[in-house]
Amino acid sequence: MINKSQKSTRLFGTNGIRGIPNMDLTPEFCSRVGKAIGTVFKTRDIAMGKDTRVSGEMIWSAVESGILSTGVNVTDLGILPTPALQYYCKVHSVYGVIITASHNPPKFNGIKCIDKDGTELQREREEEIEFIVEQGEFMKADVKNMGQRTFYPLAVNDYIEGIKKIITPENVKKAEFRVAIDTGNGAAFRSSPELLTELNCKVVTLNANPDGNFTSRNSEPKPENLGDLIALMKTGKFDLGVAHDGDADRCVFVDENGNFIDGDRSLALIVKYFTSRGSKVVTPVSSSDVIEDVCNKNGAVLVKTRVGAPIVSRTMIKEKALVGGEENGGIIYGRHQYCRDGAMAMALVLDLMAREKKKISALLSDLPAYAMYKTSTELTEDWNQVRKRIIDRAGAEEIDFTDGLKLYLREGWVLARPSGTEPIMRIFAQSKTVEKARELAEFIIKIASP
């Protein structure tokens, strides 16, 4: 363990080390990270995977070289979704490294570490890696004990089979759903269409080719980036539209009429139909009140956390929660694994539609309606100064300090929090209408300005 009094430069953000290849993520730096990973994990084998980004091979090679130099073997899983690598780590009880920048533009890439239970690495272990990177005290294997690379080409197949064990495939197969899926040229280009085919769905794919430049659309699955999928769904020929981000740990849906479904509502749908009295649900304070309303109706216990998938996952494990997730389409289903999993979320929704024999729009129709607005603004001052100004001037009826400031105002609430990866303040607002939520967000941004 590192000496806690010796603080190193922070490298890991909310979801791994992110940066621009050959600027931030140079071969030399990535090799040091690889050597630090091998030194800290002190294990026989580490599994590695990557998404489709064009810089992935360079970064992979540098990280792998560093790991091998410490005498640790690497199991090459190839291109696959992050949750597929996490499933492999969980089943085989090995550490993992995934080369991905998730939904970020193609000029970025990243290095994310996975624990032996398939969850994202705890912050304390990331600090150990950061310390070793800075100090340069790496393990060095002699020639006879250098790490070796082996290939395992069946990780995606194992992952698909693991998902099928959680749902009732026979029900989904009988329904013969028509599904349009946009994998965004990312890591799920093979896995999600293959899972749908094995579930006897009639599948039309969009952007289901590996293109690390994300030529067809931005990898963030927001409505403004999903015009082709939404237009296809408006033809009325499909039961469900599905879209992933770059590494497919998230999944968003479009209903049979071409309406985009907010991530809060898809999470609330899973909570409604897959929990019962006494079940525990975990979500960040940024999620809308629809999840709390559904929990109250089901008699489920809602636990709120700071923003961040690793925080939600760890809290789910601690609380033995069944369902968790974020408002961005990141759904975690505890019976499968404690991480965001886009394909698992897709399978759960299809299973639900088959079981209830209803369209997704009908399943969503009786959920409470809240309007959310999300934005961000540049943070040019110390957060503590901005925080004090907001507290003094916002006139909040109540303030939740779980993560940043969640201000309960007369016409809704606003969450303002500093980003963990950029010099910006992120804003989440909820009200009765999108227009009013936007007004609340702009009100907080205005009083936060110097």
pLDDT at 6 over 80: no
pLDDT at 3 over 70: no
Same domain, 134 and 211: no
Q: How far apart are the C-alpha atoms of 279 and 302, rounded to whole Å?
A: 9
Secondary structure class of 27 (helix, strand, coil): helix
Q: What is the pLDDT of residue 407?
A: 97
Q: How far apart are the C-alpha atoms of 332 and 341, rounded to whole Å?
A: 6
Q: What is the pLDDT of residue 419?
A: 84
Work out the pLDDT band at 114, boundaries 50, 70, 90.
very high
Q: What is the pLDDT of residue 421?
A: 66
pLDDT at 448 over 80: yes
| Residue 376 near residue 286 (C-beta atoms within 8 A) | no
CATH number at residue 22: 3.40.120.10
pLDDT at 2 over 70: no
Same domain, 129 and 193: no
CB atoms within 10 A of CB 361: 12
Q: How far apart are the C-alpha atoms of 313 and 231, rounded to whole Å?
A: 35
Dump pLDDT digits (tens) for 204-219.
999 999 999 999 999 9
Q: What is the pLDDT of residue 405?
A: 97
Q: How far apart are the C-alpha atoms of 424 and 46, rounded to whole Å?
A: 35
Query: DSSP secondary-structure letter at 16?
Result: B
Query: DSSP secondary-structure letter at 167?
Result: S
Q: Is residue 68 part of a domain?
A: yes
Same domain, 349 and 380: no
Largest CA distance in the chain: 69
Least confident range of 14-18, 87-91, 151-155, 224-228:
14-18
Q: Is residue 3 part of a domain?
A: no
Same domain, 235 and 305: yes
* 161, 282, 430, 431, 443 from 416: Cα distances, Å: 41, 20, 12, 15, 11
Range of the structural domain that residue 87 is part of: 17-153
Dump pLDDT digits (tens) for 382-402.
999 999 999 999 999 999 999
What's the whole-number mean pLDDT along residues 293-316? 95
Q: Return the structure tokens found at 105.
A: 């533009």
pLDDT at 95 over 90: yes
Short-list 413, 340, 424, 327, CA closest to 377: 424
pLDDT at 426 over 70: yes
pTM tops 0.75? yes
| Side-chain half-sphere exposure of 306, counting CA atoms within 13 A | 13
Work out how many domains the chain is built from and give that number. 3
Annotated active-site residue 102? The verdict is yes
User: What's the start-to-end Cα distance of the chain, in Å?
Assistant: 42
Q: Return the structure tokens found at 47.
A: 């599994």
Q: Mean pLDDT of all residues in the chain?
A: 95
pLDDT at 4 over 50: no
- The residue with greater pLDDT, 188 or 104, is 188
pLDDT at 327 over 90: no
Q: How far apart are the C-alpha atoms of 433 and 436, rounded to whole Å?
A: 5
Same domain, 29 and 121: yes
Dump pLDDT digits (tens) for 343-356.
999 999 999 999 99
Same domain, 356 and 377: no
Q: What is the pLDDT of residue 13?
A: 86
Q: How far apart are the C-alpha atoms of 371 and 60, rounded to whole Å?
A: 41
Catalytic residue (choose from 31, 102, 191, 288): 102
Rg (CA), the chain: 22
Q: How far apart are the C-alpha atoms of 198 and 204, rounded to whole Å?
A: 14
Residue 318's contacts (CB-CB under 8 Å, 6 or more residues apart) are none
Same domain, 327 and 228: yes
Same domain, 234 and 340: yes
Same domain, 357 and 397: no
Q: How far apart are the C-alpha atoms of 229 and 156, rounded to whole Å?
A: 25
Q: What is the pLDDT of residue 1?
A: 43
CATH number at residue 416: 3.30.310.50
Q: Is residue 8 part of a domain?
A: no
| Residue 360 near residue 417 (C-beta atoms within 8 A) | no
Q: Is residue 287 part of a domain?
A: yes
Q: Is residue 12 part of a domain?
A: no
Across the beta sheet with 412-418, the strand order is: 371-378, 424-431, 412-418, 405-409, 398-400
What's the whole-number mean pLDDT along residues 105-115? 96
Same domain, 54 and 202: no
Q: Return the structure tokens found at 50.
A: 């990557």
